[in-house]
Structure 1
Amino acid sequence: MSSNPGRSPDYDLEDVRIITSSQELKAVHHPLRSVLIDLVLDRAASVAELASAVDRPPSTVAYHVGKLVDAGLLRVVRTRRVRAIEERFYGRTARIFYVGQISADQVPLVTNYLPIAATESAAAHRDDELRALLRYANVPADRVGPFWTKVMELFAEFSAMPRTGERGYALVAGLYPVDHPTLPPPSED
C-alpha cells in the first residue's frame, strides 16, 4: 500500500496491480468503466458524484461500479450516513492497472490506447498544444523490459501528481516492434 501525504487520491491504494483475468480486463477496458476508474484516482467518490461527473443516471453508474467492485478494481474506502441511508465512497484498488501475460483469446478484451490518444490529441495538435515524440531504434530485446519499467515509473509519477490543475492532460506511451529502415553497417573506407 502507498500512503504518501499530498499525493492523489485521498485514500490508500497499491501503486501497481497486474491484471490478467477476463473479468478484470472486461471491467477496466469498458469505455464508461474506464472513465469511472480514472475519476476516483483524484479522490474517492459516491455513485451520485460519479453519475453527475459522467452525466449518466445513478442506476447506470451503480451497475458499472458494481462490476468494477466485483472485478476487484474498485472498493468502498469509506462511508457516511445521509439521513437513514449509508452512502458509500469508492476508490481504486491500485494507482495503475497493468495488463500482465494474457492468452490469445483475451487480446480482444484489451483496448489499444494509441488510436484513442490520436483522436483525442487532434484538437491539441491543431491548437499547437501537443507535446509528442516518436522515435525508432534497433535495440537488443533484453533491454526492452527494463526500459519499459522506466516508462511505468514515469506513469506512476504522473498518476500520483495532485489533480489540482484547471485543465486535464493525458499521457500515452507505446513500445512495440516495428519494421523501420536502418542504416547499413559503416563502411571501412
Structure 2
Amino acid sequence: MGDNPPDYELADRMSLTRPDQVKAIGHPLRTTILQLLHERAATVTELAIAVERPKSTVAHHVEVLTRSGLVRVVRTRRVRAVEERFHGRTARMFYVAAEPTTGGAEMPRDFNDFEVAARESAPAFEEGRLWGFIRHARLTDEQARQFWKQMADLVETFDRLPRSGETTYGFAVGIYPADHPALPPPR
C-alpha cells in the first residue's frame, strides 16, 4: 500500500452489478462520502463534520452504502465506554457493469457520472478553470474495451495520488457510442 491513500486495505476494482449498488452511488451525499473515504477511514462523526450535515443523516447514508457492499467497518477503537467504528470503501474504483443484471431487475437509467461532473464543473467553467477534451473515433467493440481499460488505469492513478493541496479537483472520463458524422470508406 505504501503512501497511497487510503490508510486501509481494499480491492482495486469492484463491478456494480445490482440495482441497489448503482442506486447507492447515485445519491450526491453518498458519492461525497465515498470520495472522502478514499483519503482515509473515517467515523460517522468525522464524515458529518466534513459534509456539514447531521450525524443521523450521515449514519443513514453510511448504512445504505454498507448494505450495498460499498463500505465496511475497517477498524474500531474504544473511546471511554463507546466503540468508535471507522468506515472504509470496499474498492478503490467502482464501475457499473455493462452486463445485464440477474433476476430481471434493471439498472436505474438516471445514474450518470457526466451529469454529476457537469453540475460540479459549472463554477470552474465560469472561472476559466475547467480543462477538458472531447474526441470522436470509429472503433471496434474490442478497441473500445481496451481503451476503457486504459482509462480505468488512469483513474486508478488519479485515485492513488497523495491527498495534498488546497483545492479538490474532479476527474471525469468516459467512452460512449455517439451519433457523430464519419467519412465514407476510402475508394
Relative to the length of structure 1, the TM-score reads 0.90
Matching residue of 1:98: 95
Q: Secondary structure of 1:106's partner?
A: coil
Matching residue of 1:69: 66
1:14 lines up with 2:11 in the alignment:
yes
RMSD: 1.7
For residues 139-185 of structure 1, the C-alpha deviation after alignment (integer angstroms, 9 at most, x for no partner) is: 22221101100000000111111111211001111211112112234
Identity %: 46
Aligned pairs (5 A) from 1:1-189 = 4-100=1-97, 101-103=99-101, 105-108=105-108, 111-186=111-186
Q: Secondary structure of 1:90's partner?
A: strand
Give, in whole Å, the separation in 1 of the partners of 2:54 and 2:22. Answer: 24
Give, in whole Å, the separation in 1 of the partners of 2:176 and 2:109. Answer: 18
- Say which one has the larger Rg: 1
Gaps of 5+ in 2: none
Give, in whole Å, the separation in 2 of the partners of 1:88 and 1:80. Answer: 7
How many corresponding residue pairs? 184
For residues 116-154 of structure 1, the C-alpha deviation after alignment (integer angstroms, 9 at most, x for no partner) is: 212222222222211100001112222110110000000
How far did 1:109 drift? Answer: 5.6
Give, in whole Å, the separation in 2 of the partners of 1:64 and 1:11. Answer: 21
Q: 1:26 touches 1:109 (CA, 8 Å); kept in 2?
A: no
Give, in whole Å, the separation in 2 of the partners of 1:93 and 1:77. Answer: 9
Q: Secondary structure of 2:93's partner?
A: strand
Give, in whole Å, the separation in 2 of the partners of 1:186 and 1:91. Answer: 54
Q: 1:25 touches 1:109 (CA, 8 Å); kept in 2?
A: no
Q: Secondary structure of 1:32's partner?
A: helix
Q: 1:74 touches 1:92 (CA, 8 Å); kept in 2?
A: yes
Give, in whole Å, the separation in 1 of the partners of 2:110 and 2:93. Answer: 15
